[in-house]
């Protein structure tokens, strides 16, 4: 599966557009991460617990998007985008979406 945030793939031609595919996950903050983040806010620096949480969330959302594209018969997803939103206090959604397509190598 080719995955890209561009509208085209060099050396390939889109022969069929299968439609929008998406994947999402909603994750809650961990109390331990919140405490560590509170201390880090005092001195500054990266909030590694939250970085890991976002990385895991992005990976899961992308895998769900890929699964949906495979069900449609796609061999690529183009124009991928990510967005996040607060669902409730302490929980956020990671949403990945793109266009499922069938690609063939250019002649």
Closest of 89, 99, 107 to residue 2, by C-alpha:
99
Q: Is pLDDT larger for residue 32 or for residue 107?
A: 107
pLDDT band at 24 (very low <50, low <70, confident <90, very high): very high
Name the more confident of 10 and 27: 10
Cα 61 to Cα 48, 49, 69, distances in angstroms = 20, 18, 13
What integer is the mean pLDDT of 8-36?
Answer: 84
Domain, as residue range, for 97: 2-105
pTM of the model: 0.83
In this predicted structure, the answer to whether residue 87 has a pLDDT above a threshold of 90 is no
Over 60: is that where the pLDDT of 64 sits? Answer: yes
Number of structural domains in the chain: 1
CATH number at residue 14: 3.30.110.70
Residue-averaged pLDDT of the chain: 87
């Amino acid at each position: 599966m080719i995955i890209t945030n561009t509208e085209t793939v060099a050396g390939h031609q889109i022969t069929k557009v299968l439609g929008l595919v998406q994947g999402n996950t909603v994750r809650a903050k961990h109390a331990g991460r919140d405490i560590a983040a509170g201390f880090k806010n005092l001195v500054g620096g990266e909030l590694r617990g939250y970085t890991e949480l976002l990385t895991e969330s992005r990976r899961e959302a992308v895998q769900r998007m890929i699964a949906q594209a495979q069900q449609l018969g796609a061999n690529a997803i183009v124009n991928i985008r990510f967005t996040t939103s607060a669902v409730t206090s302490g929980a956020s959604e990671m949403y990945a979406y793109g266009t499922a397509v069938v690609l063939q190598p250019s002649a």
